[in-house]
Amino acid sequence: MAMRWLRSTSTRLALAVMVSFLLAFVLLGAGVYFAVSTLLLQDARELVRTDASGLAEVYRDSGSSALVDELQARIAAPEDPDAVYALSDRGGRSLVATPGLPPHPPGNARWLTFEAADAGDGDGHRRIVAHLQPLPDGSILLVGLRLHSQDRFLALMLRTALVALLVAATLGALVGWLTSRWVSRRLRSLDATAERVGGGELALRVPLDGSDDAFDRLARRFNGMLDRIEDLLGGVRHATDHIAHDLRTPLTRLRNRLEELRHQSGEPGRDAALDAAVAETDQLLRTFASLLWLARIEAQAPAQDEPVLDLAELVADAVELYTPSAGERGIRLQAHLQPVQLRGDRDQLFQTLVNLLDNALKYAPTGSAVEVTLHPTAQGGVLQVDDRGPGIPEAERERVFDRFQRLEAHRGSPGSGLGLSLVRAVVHRHGGRVVLLDRAPGLRVQLLLPVVLGSRDA
């Protein structure tokens, strides 16, 4: 149970916050303690140095006996109860000393720090910082200061720090717990939404708080993923709804014609019936091929690693391919192209152009013109295909991108209703978007595609 509790991300987050809080407090407290103790020791040494300089001046002015008298007077009636003094002769014999000092202070450095009995408490010991100063006659003067006040202050700091550490541990645990609760609460809405979406509520979305933090961006991307899933599932449902009509009707006609052929051996209309049956079969095959191609495009990764190509050359090839067909119908096919380079799949983009030109020529009236323009802008390359046909009502412009969607109620014209669905899929894979605009009369299909700057690496 304990191991399972420790494996919890929220628990580990709370522990990490608490440990970080405590570690920061300990490092800060240790730094402050060291700085204060160093400062107090420096102040004590400065007092000792000043006192020793005064006694050395007494020695220089009045000699050794005057120095002994001064030390005895200070020991007998000290101005500072924490001050200690000692004077020893050349042989190390003590001439005068503060009670409690060791006979021979340890070490031979100029500055000493040692412990000695407290004059007010025979059982207590205090730290002493002392300065040794050799005199011209060979004697050694020791001037020191009990670090009584400093040690009490540092002990008070240490006790206060321990209490503060306990408070910091409590606050760290509380902050860690609140942080883990906050993270859990932010993720709980995401989890609840995912659970309900998994249960079938595909229209549900994670609420956003507008903070644009990591959780809000995650929720936004999660909602975008749900939007994409809903669009794909809607497309599947829509295709399923229309496939019964779009595929059942030609299959029924094909069956009826084949049934008729069984009874038309040698009759004049037999070849025409066979041709019609073959045409129905070809239409079915093209529809299935388009469905497979559309599914393959939607499953592919974005075209970020595709080679760089010149879209103007591709558009020129497509226009050249459809120019004879347009001329036969009395339609002028005009192209105004500027160089635009992008990363993409040449076959997919060419098929997109074919679908756009095929639609434009299908609905353009005789004697009119279909214009194809391509030019770069600050937002990317813009490809436009304009015709003078009946156009598409504004309310229907998004619907025509759905699978098997046609504006004709009778659905009798050739085609599968997948052309614009393929166009949108290819453009989306290449990081662009498709917009349908009204030319009054006519329709403008506008493709905005990201361009590539620099030399080609195709």
Averaged pLDDT for residues 214-234: 80
Looking at per-residue pLDDT, the higher value among 409 and 144 belongs to: 144
Question: For residue 414, what pLDDT is reported?
Answer: 54
**Same domain for 146 and 75:** yes
Q: What is the overall mean pLDDT for the chain?
A: 79
Averaged pLDDT for residues 383-390: 90
In the predicted structure, residue 269 carries a pLDDT above the cut 80 = no
Q: Cis omega before residue 450 (within 30°)?
A: no
Averaged pLDDT for residues 216-233: 81
Confidence category of residue 409, pLDDT binned at 50, 70, 90: very low
Give the separation between CA 158 and CA 212, rounded to whole angstroms: 44
Question: For residue 314, what pLDDT is reported?
Answer: 92
Averaged pLDDT for residues 360-364: 88
**Boundary residue ending a domain (156, 173, 190):** 156
Give the separation between CA 437 and CA 325, rounded to whole angstroms: 25
Question: For residue 183, what pLDDT is reported?
Answer: 74
**Same domain for 129 and 15:** yes
**Same domain for 335 and 245:** no
Helix (H, G, I), strand (E, B) or coil at 388: coil
**Boundary residue ending a domain (299, 334, 368):** 299
- Per the structure, the complete domain to which residue 375 belongs is given by 308-449
Domain containing residue 217: CATH number? 1.10.287
Confidence category of residue 411, pLDDT binned at 50, 70, 90: very low
Kindly state whether residue 198 falls inside one of the protein's structural domains: no
Kindly state whether residue 161 falls inside one of the protein's structural domains: no
**Same domain for 322 and 292:** no
**Same domain for 424 and 340:** yes
Question: For residue 113, what pLDDT is reported?
Answer: 81
Assign residue 138 a region: left if phi > 0, alpha if psi is -120 to 50, beta otherwise? left
Of the ranges 53-57, 125-129, 289-293, which is most confident? 53-57
Cα–Cα–Cα angle for 248, 408, 349, rounded to 5 degrees: 85
pTM of this prediction? 0.48
pLDDT digits (tens, 9 = 90+) for 120-150: 554 456 788 888 888 888 888 888 888 877 8
**What b-and-e string marks burial along 70-97, b requiring 16 or more CB atoms within 10 Å of the CB?**
bbeebbeeeeeebbbbbbbeeeeeebbb
